[in-house]
Amino acid sequence: MTFFRLNISMLMCFLILSACLEADLQRLMEGNQRFVQEKLKHPGRTPETRKATTSGQEPFAIIMGCSDSRVPPEVIFDQGIGDLFVVRVAGNVIGPLELDSINYSALHLGSSVIVVLGHQGCGAVNAVVEGESQDIKAVAALIEPAVKEARKGQPPNLLETAIKDNAIRMKDYLLKTPEIRKLVDAGKIEVYAGYYKSKTGAVEILK
């Protein structure tokens, strides 16, 4: 039955590509809703899934997240083995190594959604805001433009604004890279920025 349903949905995806992309974002956000509502399904964490994915992987989403121990993508999106291609680095910034990793999954593994995920109370962004980033120079250099931009608007919550601006800037950067641009233009992938609130567990998709 599951196999049958899978084939029907794959056929629908083939027929309506954009609907398929939306369905994949929805799959991610439904997992986050289960996490928020404490209705976890823990999909794909069985020995069967492990064995079935030994010969290959088709992660439907790429998460470009922060290394922060409190933001594990498979947990907060309630996904399993083989579902997410995860790149994590302090401040969820994208340099050459991160871009190569993202491109690998986007170009070769068929992922159709990318989420650059900032999070509440990000220590890396906070270090830049507070001017105490001497120990994370390479990361800070990539975060600084977002903090500068956020400061200009004099927002009531500078840290939260800078974290969101940083995720949006990284999303915009991805959209300008030739590989991702080509996939977006072909309707094969969509790129989003998100913000995870540890207080509620909810992920908000940013504009």
Integer Cα distance of 134 and 29 in angstroms: 36
Q: Could you give the string, one character per residue 132-171, with x where binding to Zn ion holds by CB under 5 A and - elsewhere?
A: ----------------------------------------
Quick check: 89 binds Zn ion (CB under 5 A)?
no
Integer Cα distance of 16 and 38 in angstroms: 32
**Residue in 66, 113, 147, 191 binding Zn ion, rule: CB under 5 A:** 66
Tokens of 24: 């994949």
Tokens of 104: 């690998």
Tokens of 46: 């069985």
Coil, strand or helix: which one is 66? coil
In the complex, minimum distance from the CB of residue 49 to Zn ion, in angstroms, rounded to a whole number: 29
Quick check: 116 binds Zn ion (CB under 5 A)?
no
DSSP-assigned states of every residue in 176-200: HSHHHHHHHHTTS-EEEEEEE-TTT
In the complex, minimum distance from the CB of residue 77 to Zn ion, in angstroms, rounded to a whole number: 17
Stretch that binds Zn ion, among 53-61, 121-129, 133-141, 186-194 (CB under 5 A): 121-129
Quick check: 74 binds Zn ion (CB under 5 A)?
no
Binding site for Zn ion (CB under 5 A): 66, 68, 122
